[in-house]
């Protein structure tokens, strides 16, 4: 998706509906929610808290910020149909620190949240990120491309590992992963990193 394109989210919802209506066991993983808030997500889907408390306690507007109405139809459908929503993302302050000071700057406590493995070998991934880094380095106070590469790789690896852990614990389930185009195009972000872990076939939809 492009995060602020409402049509993209309608298309996502249609895909989710078609898979669910076909009778498959399904979960939806979302970049928009961070792993420490999974219990809050679960509580909302189970009806233990209302939408206001869900948005407040998941720190949605602090950590994602895009208009919640873009995602509301999807999340309402998951709630109505009792479909799990998996928070895929790493806590944002960890990624921000890695982008500026590198992985080895993290405290031992934060290092516990790192994925079990990270692959830096894809040259196209590196080249594409180098172009992004050149565009944003000054305004984002990013000084070292290698730290930026570590942060982006960490971002994708954590989301892939989050999806893998859910699918490992729920082997009969399929998963639709909702993430920005940069995490799925060319398959070198989340898709191939998830495939490295589970060797399961996948399809990628990149919009626009």
Question: Exposed/middle/buried for 105, CB within 10 Å: 0-12, 13-18, 19+?
Answer: exposed
The SS3 of residue 142 is coil
Q: What pLDDT is recorded for position 141? A: 79
Convert the pLDDT of each residue in 161-187 to its tens digit.
999 999 999 999 999 999 999 999 999
- pLDDT tens string 93-114: 899 999 999 999 999 999 988 9
If you count DSSP H runs as helices and E runs as strands, how many of each does the chain have, helices first? 10, 3
- Maximum Cα interatomic distance, the chain, rounded to a whole number of Å: 49
Among residues 17, 3, 30, 172, the alpha carbon closest in space to that of 80 is found at 17
- Give the DSSP letter string of 77-91: HHHHHT--EEEEEPP
pTM over 0.75: yes
Cα 166 vs. chain centroid, distance in angstroms? 13
Tens digits of per-residue pLDDT, 186-200?
Answer: 999 999 999 999 999
């Amino acid at each position: 998706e492009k995060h602020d394109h409402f049509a993209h989210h309608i298309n996502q919802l249609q895909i989710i509906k078609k898979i669910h209506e076909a009778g498959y066991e399904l979960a939806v993983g979302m970049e928009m929610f961070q792993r420490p808030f999974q219990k809050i997500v679960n509580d909302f889907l189970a009806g233990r808290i209302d939408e206001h408390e869900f948005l407040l306690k998941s720190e949605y507007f602090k950590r994602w910020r895009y208009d919640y109405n873009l995602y509301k139809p999807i999340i309402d459908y998951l709630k109505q149909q009792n479909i799990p929503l998996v928070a895929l993302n790493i806590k944002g302050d960890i990624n921000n620190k890695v982008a500026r000071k590198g992985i080895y700057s993290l405290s031992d406590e934060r290092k516990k949240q790192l994925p079990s493995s990270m692959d830096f070998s894809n040259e196209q991934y590196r080249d594409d990120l180098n172009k992004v880094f050149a565009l944003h380095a000054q305004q984002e106070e990013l000084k070292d491309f290698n730290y930026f590469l570590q942060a982006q790789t960490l971002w994708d690896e954590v989301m892939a590992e989050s999806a893998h852990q859910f699918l490992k614990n729920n082997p009969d389930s399929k998963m639709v992963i909702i993430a920005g185009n940069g995490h799925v195009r060319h398959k070198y972000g989340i898709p191939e990193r998830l495939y490295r872990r589970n060797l399961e076939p996948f399809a990628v939809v990149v919009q626009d």
